[in-house]
């Protein structure tokens, strides 16, 4: 239509043509006004249209005054060649529907550099939708990673959320043939869900994986949040730049939008002037992703629910739309619905083709048929009820049988025999019903932790509070090991290891029952320290580290060594007096052959493990090294600087600038010599190849020595008070620090606990 208008100006030379063109122009504007979601009147084009993309109210082109609020304005910018495209911030908008918008997102890529023999750092890309009506849709998008040795993270604004997730994509030992077109399961391609209601998105690559062996086959890695339905993996994405070029470096992303000035419909309806659902036929829907609401037309109406005029919700004339509302009889449109009758002389269901039949039976015959039908229906109902009863009893038996099958499958018999042979080992085999009752049928409210290896519930069994862990399914080939580990674990009696009390094998996945440790995790303590709400002295940090190392060393040195596999601060519980207790072991089964789920947490996972897929004691040493760094630097394992803490610290050690990274709060508490020794120990734990790392017992010994050395001032550790919220200025002999204790009752902890940064890597 635009050509008509511009032609009208040129045609002014010839009066006759001009007249015709003006008529055409009038027709074209009339057509534009008739489009359903556009505003009324001739100004519709500049208001609610940009380069052919509809910008329906409440949206509007910016500075046209057509949007409901400034936050709903869309920039209509010239992108060259006279083509205009709509933008929100710096992202292009493809379409705007009710509640959803499709935009183009930037693909982050990183390619191997032959000169530096490293991956080139990816250009920094983030999307900040804070303060806008938009949120990243978690149902339509997936974080998608492509590459053969690629570990990429997606995270929220650190100051706002604590969300972080990651995805790893590996072609086993560089073998490209294992990647399959259309299959994105961790081989060459990986996808993961994001959490609900995110308004910020940033991508980071982990450069610790050495790609120098594979760059000639797969030079580039990609990571992007994108609409999952428009992505199909192709193996050519690995070997060429096809992924980037086929989308032009930009991929579709779905955003959920809502009117977010009030929390929900009830609040919005209180102020009728600002309430956006206009007209009698518009209804309000609470947003399911963040606060706010959207409007919809009532059933049987269509139009723009945010408008009151002729473009607002109007009755659908169903009788004129036989495709969507079929009627094979007489159709009568009614407000909000329609009637569809069979024509006179026939009866039946006129909405189905051939549904109307002529009346041919006399009344008496109809009556007789009616009675017969009733009798038959009664008979069938009775039979049906019997069948259901029978089925129920069968199902009950099946459940019992299945319970028994699970028991056998998880090696229950094996365990029973082992227990018999070992004598009384203080280990309980719990029944299915006991576990179900204790966890209130796995009620979400009972969840106290979620990690890569399973979900942990708080429960009461036989009057004692316990933690019940639901493992992810274990695989057949590891059954024997699993049982052996259980028998060993339940005899482990170490002050720094959470005690295993028993298990239940009558579920599809084994349940492990542990002693319950009240109090916090090291993760929470570190977060308190980072936000400067609590001071943890160097002495305490070293003691916690030594105790954890001791516990891991003990597990590693058992006759049948037990590997933890997910060492991270969230798995180090802190009991009364900040005594460390290592938890969350026992489910660490990694299936080598079938390449199933890989467990671990971004930032703590050993790069060597990602390449080899074989859990060794040295993997635990690596993860522990990261914890050591966190303890002395106070920094997170992954930060915005696009580098892991481990690689940042390693570089700083080489440059001799490591002291710049140390937590300023502990610098006065020990001589630089001691701090250097801790740093060296951490670097040893992170060494590559893993064989050169010290064993856990050595690490523990060294830490114990350092913790007790005279050079570390033994400052009294202020107690972590759990009751009430109060400020107290603590004067200690070492430092004077502002102590801010936090009450259990504030709910802050619950929030933090639920967002424990843990991910599974699909592989």
Ligand X SMILES: *[C@@H]1O[C@H](CO)[C@@H](O)[C@H](O)[C@H]1NC(C)=O
Provide the phi-psi class of 633: left if phi over 0, else alpha when psi is between -120 and 50, else beta. Answer: alpha
| Binding to ligand X, residues 179-198 (CB under 6 A) | 181, 193
| Binding to ligand X, residues 333-392 (CB under 6 A) | 349, 351-352
Is residue 109 a contact residue for ligand X (CB under 6 A)?
yes
For ligand X, which stretch binds (CB under 6 A), given 105-113, 423-431, 525-533, 751-759?
105-113
Is residue 657 a contact residue for ligand X (CB under 6 A)?
no
Is residue 690 a contact residue for ligand X (CB under 6 A)?
no
Is residue 262 a contact residue for ligand X (CB under 6 A)?
no
For ligand X, which stretch binds (CB under 6 A), given 240-248, 492-500, 537-545, 572-580?
240-248
Report whether 562 contacts 500 (CB < 8 A).
Answer: no
Backbone angles phi, psi at 445, to 5 degrees: -65, -20
Is residue 220 a contact residue for ligand X (CB under 6 A)?
yes
Is residue 671 a contact residue for ligand X (CB under 6 A)?
no
What are the start-end ranges of the H helices in 258-362? 265-268
For ligand X, which stretch binds (CB under 6 A), given 8-16, 136-144, 307-315, 448-456?
136-144
Is residue 128 a contact residue for ligand X (CB under 6 A)?
yes
Is residue 551 a contact residue for ligand X (CB under 6 A)?
no
Of the pair 208, 677, the CB lying nearest ligand X is at 208
Is residue 738 a contact residue for ligand X (CB under 6 A)?
no
Distances (CA, A) of 619 to 511, 559, 730: 25, 19, 39
DSSP state of 299: T
Of the pair 219, 603, the CB lying nearest ligand X is at 219
For ligand X, which stretch binds (CB under 6 A), given 15-23, 112-120, 166-174, 421-429?
112-120
DSSP state of 320: G
Is residue 269 a contact residue for ligand X (CB under 6 A)?
no
Structure tokens at 104: 């183009």
Least distance in angstroms from the C-beta of 152 to ligand X? 14
Least distance in angstroms from the C-beta of 357 to ligand X? 13
Task: List the one residue out of 446, 493, 450 whose CA is nearest residue 471.
Answer: 450
Is residue 227 a contact residue for ligand X (CB under 6 A)?
no
Cβ-based neighbours of 142, under 8 Å, separated by 6 or more: 191, 192, 193, 194, 225, 226, 228, 231
Is residue 131 a contact residue for ligand X (CB under 6 A)?
yes
Residue 74's beta-bridge partner residues?
61
Residue 34: active-site member: no
Of the pair 245, 664, the CB lying nearest ligand X is at 245
Is residue 120 a contact residue for ligand X (CB under 6 A)?
yes
Do strands 454-461 and 464-471 pair parallel, antiparallel, or not at all (unpaired)?
antiparallel
Report whether 694 contacts 685 (CB < 8 A).
Answer: yes
Of the pair 90, 441, the CB lying nearest ligand X is at 90
Is residue 53 a contact residue for ligand X (CB under 6 A)?
no
Cα–Cα dist 455/446, whole Å = 10
Report whether 761 contacts 746 (CB < 8 A).
Answer: no
Task: List the one residue out of 719, 751, 497, 760 whose CA is nearest residue 605.
Answer: 760
Is residue 28 a contact residue for ligand X (CB under 6 A)?
no
Backbone angles phi, psi at 414, to 5 degrees: -55, -45
Among 54, 64, 139, 484, binds ligand X (CB under 6 A): 139
Q: Assess whether the previous peptide bond of 468 is cis (omega < 30° from 0).
A: no
Is residue 141 a contact residue for ligand X (CB under 6 A)?
no
Least distance in angstroms from the C-beta of 10 to ligand X? 28
Of the pair 234, 304, the CB lying nearest ligand X is at 234
Is residue 213 a contact residue for ligand X (CB under 6 A)?
yes
Size of the residue set binding ligand X (CB under 6 A): 49
For ligand X, which stretch binds (CB under 6 A), given 1-9, 123-131, 314-322, 559-567?
123-131
Of the pair 226, 258, the CB lying nearest ligand X is at 258
Is residue 436 a contact residue for ligand X (CB under 6 A)?
no
Among 165, 191, 234, 601, binds ligand X (CB under 6 A): 234
Least distance in angstroms from the C-beta of 725 to ligand X? 26
E-strand stretches of 114-249: 118-119, 126-128, 134-136, 141-146, 149-155, 164-170, 189-192, 200-205, 220-227
Of the pair 46, 271, the CB lying nearest ligand X is at 271
Least distance in angstroms from the C-beta of 186 to ligand X? 13
| Binding to ligand X, residues 283-312 (CB under 6 A) | 284-289, 294
Is residue 99 a contact residue for ligand X (CB under 6 A)?
yes
Cα–Cα dist 484/488, whole Å = 6
Do strands 60-61 and 73-78 pair parallel, antiparallel, or not at all (unpaired)?
parallel
CB-count exposure of residue 533 (10 Å: 0-12, 13-18, 19+):
middle
Cβ-based neighbours of 331, under 8 Å, separated by 6 or more: 318, 319, 338, 339, 340
Residue 75: enclosing H or E segment and its boundaries?
strand 73-78
Residue 238: enclosing H or E segment and its boundaries?
helix 236-239
Residues in the chain: 763
For ligand X, which stretch binds (CB under 6 A), given 235-243, 378-386, 693-701, 723-731?
235-243
Is residue 265 a contact residue for ligand X (CB under 6 A)?
yes
Is residue 481 a contact residue for ligand X (CB under 6 A)?
no
For ligand X, which stretch binds (CB under 6 A), given 11-19, 261-269, 474-482, 600-608?
261-269
For ligand X, which stretch binds (CB under 6 A), given 260-268, 366-374, 379-387, 435-443?
260-268
What are the start-end ranges of the H helices in 410-520? 412-422, 432-438, 479-489
Is residue 116 a contact residue for ligand X (CB under 6 A)?
yes
Nearest residue to the partner ligand X, using Cβ: 249
| 109 HSE (CA, 13 A, CB side) | 21
Cβ-based neighbours of 439, under 8 Å, separated by 6 or more: 446, 457, 459, 468
Least distance in angstroms from the C-beta of 587 to ligand X? 18
Structure tokens at 318: 């169903």
Is residue 108 a contact residue for ligand X (CB under 6 A)?
no
Distance, C-alpha 399 to centroid of its chain: 33
Is residue 236 a contact residue for ligand X (CB under 6 A)?
yes
Task: List the one residue out of 433, 434, 422 whose CA is nearest residue 483.
Answer: 422
For ligand X, which stretch binds (CB under 6 A), given 126-134, 557-565, 627-635, 720-728?
126-134
Q: What is the CA radius of gyration of the chain?
A: 33
Among 5, 18, 64, 75, binds ligand X (CB under 6 A): 75
Distance, C-alpha 361 to centroid of its chain: 63
Of the pair 77, 403, the CB lying nearest ligand X is at 77
Is residue 70 a contact residue for ligand X (CB under 6 A)?
no
E-strand stretches of 79-140: 84-88, 91-96, 100-106, 108-113, 118-119, 126-128, 134-136
Is residue 175 a contact residue for ligand X (CB under 6 A)?
no
Of the pair 256, 663, the CB lying nearest ligand X is at 256
- Residue given tokens 């599974």 in the structure block: 760
Catalytic residue among 566, 584, 606, 663: 566
Of the pair 237, 624, the CB lying nearest ligand X is at 237
Distances (CA, A) of 562 to 88, 553, 555, 557, 585: 53, 10, 5, 8, 8
Provide the phi-psi class of 470: left if phi over 0, else alpha when psi is between -120 and 50, else beta. Answer: beta
Is residue 157 a contact residue for ligand X (CB under 6 A)?
yes
Of the pair 144, 244, the CB lying nearest ligand X is at 244
| Enzyme catalytic residues | 566
Which residues contact ligand X by CB under 6 A?
75, 77, 87, 90, 99, 109, 111, 113, 115-116, 120, 128, 130-131, 137-139, 157, 181, 193, 210, 212-213, 220, 234-236, 241, 244, 248-249, 256, 258, 264-266, 271, 273-274, 284-289, 294, 349, 351-352
């Amino acid at each position: 239509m635009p050509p008509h208008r511009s032609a009208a100006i040129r045609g002014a030379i010839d009066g006759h043509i001009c007249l015709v063109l003006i008529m055409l122009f009038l027709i074209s504007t009339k057509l534009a006004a008739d489009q359903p979601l556009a505003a009324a009147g001739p100004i519709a084009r500049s208001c609610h249209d940009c380069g052919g993309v509809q910008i329906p109210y409440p949206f509007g082109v910016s500075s046209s005054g057509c949007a409901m609020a400034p936050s709903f304005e869309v920039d209509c910018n010239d992108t060259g060649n006279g083509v205009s495209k709509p933008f929100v911030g710096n992202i292009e908008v493809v379409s705007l529907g009710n509640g959803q918008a499709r935009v183009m997102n930037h693909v982050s890529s990183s390619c191997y550099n032959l000169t530096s023999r490293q991956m080139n750092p990816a250009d920094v890309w983030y999307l900040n939708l804070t303060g806008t009506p938009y949120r990243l849709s978690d149902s339509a998008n997936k974080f998608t990673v492509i590459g053969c040795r690629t570990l990429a993270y997606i995270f929220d604004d650190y100051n706002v959320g604590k969300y972080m997730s990651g995805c790893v994509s590996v072609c086993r030992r560089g073998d490209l043939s294992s990647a399959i077109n259309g299959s994105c399961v961790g081989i060459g391609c990986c996808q993961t869900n994001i959490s609900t209601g995110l308004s910020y998105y940033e991508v980071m690559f982990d450069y610790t994986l050495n790609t120098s062996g594979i760059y000639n086959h797969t030079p580039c890695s990609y990571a992007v949040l994108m609409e999952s339905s428009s992505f199909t993996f192709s193996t050519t994405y690995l070997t060429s730049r096809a992924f980037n070029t086929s989308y032009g470096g930009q991929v579709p992303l779905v955003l959920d939008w809502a009117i977010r000035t009030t929390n929900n419909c009830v609040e919005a309806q209180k102020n009728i002037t600002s309430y956006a659902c206009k007209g009698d036929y518009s209804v309000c829907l609470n947003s399911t992703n963040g606060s706010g609401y959207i409007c919809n037309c009532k059933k049987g109406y269509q139009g723009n629910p945010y408008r009151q005029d002729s473009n607002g919700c109007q009755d659908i004339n169903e009788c004129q739309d036989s495709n969507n509302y079929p009627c094979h009889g007489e159709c009568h449109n009614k407000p909000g619905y329609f009637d569809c009758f069979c024509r006179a002389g026939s009866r039946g269901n006129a909405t189905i083709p051939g549904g109307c039949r002529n009346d041919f039976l006399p009344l008496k015959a109809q009556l007789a048929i009616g009675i017969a039908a009733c009798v038959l229906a009664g008979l069938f109902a009775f039979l049906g009820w019997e069948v259901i009863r029978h089925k129920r009893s069968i199902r009950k038996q099946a459940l019992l049988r299945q319970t028994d099958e699970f028991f056998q499958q998880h090696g229950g018999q094996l365990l029973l025999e082992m227990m018999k042979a070992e004598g009384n080992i203080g280990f309980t085999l719990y029944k299915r019903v006991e576990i179900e009752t204790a966890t209130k049928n796995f009620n979400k409210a009972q969840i106290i932790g979620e990690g890569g290896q399973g979900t942990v519930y708080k429960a009461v069994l036989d009057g004692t509070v316990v933690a019940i862990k639901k493992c992810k399914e274990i695989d057949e080939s590891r059954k024997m090991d699993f049982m052996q580990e259980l028998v060993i674990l339940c005899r482990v009696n170490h002050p720094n290891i959470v005690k295993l009390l028993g298990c239940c094998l009558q579920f599809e996945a084994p349940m492990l029952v542990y002693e319950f440790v009240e109090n916090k995790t090291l993760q929470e303590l570190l977060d308190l320290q980072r936000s400067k709400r609590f001071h943890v002295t160097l002495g305490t940090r070293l003691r916690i580290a030594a105790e954890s190392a001791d516990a891991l060393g003990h597990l590693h040195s058992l006759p049948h060594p037990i590997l933890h596999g997910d060492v991270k601060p969230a798995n180090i519980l802190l009991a009364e007096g900040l005594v460390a207790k290592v938890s969350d072991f026992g489910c660490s089964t990694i299936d080598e052959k079938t390449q199933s789920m890989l467990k671990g947490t971004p930032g703590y996972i050993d790069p060597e493990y990602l390449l080899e897929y074989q859990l060794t004691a040295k993997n635990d040493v690596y993860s522990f090294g990261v914890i050591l760094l966190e303890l002395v630097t106070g920094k997170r394992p992954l930060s915005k600087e696009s580098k892991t803490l481990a690689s940042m610290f390693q570089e700083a050690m080489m440059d001799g600038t490591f002291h710049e990274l140390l937590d300023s709060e502990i610098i006065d508490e020990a001589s630089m010599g001691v701090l250097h020794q801790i740093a060296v120990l951490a670097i040893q734990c992170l060494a590559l190849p893993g064989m050169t790392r010290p064993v856990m017992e050595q690490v523990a010994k060294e830490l114990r020595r350092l913790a007790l050395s005279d050079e570390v001032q033994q400052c009294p550790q202020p107690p972590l008070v759990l009751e009430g919220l109060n400020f107290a200025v603590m004067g200690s002999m070492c430092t004077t620090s502002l102590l801010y204790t936090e009450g259990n009752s504030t709910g802050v902890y619950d929030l933090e606990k639920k967002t424990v940064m843990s991910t599974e890597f699909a592989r």
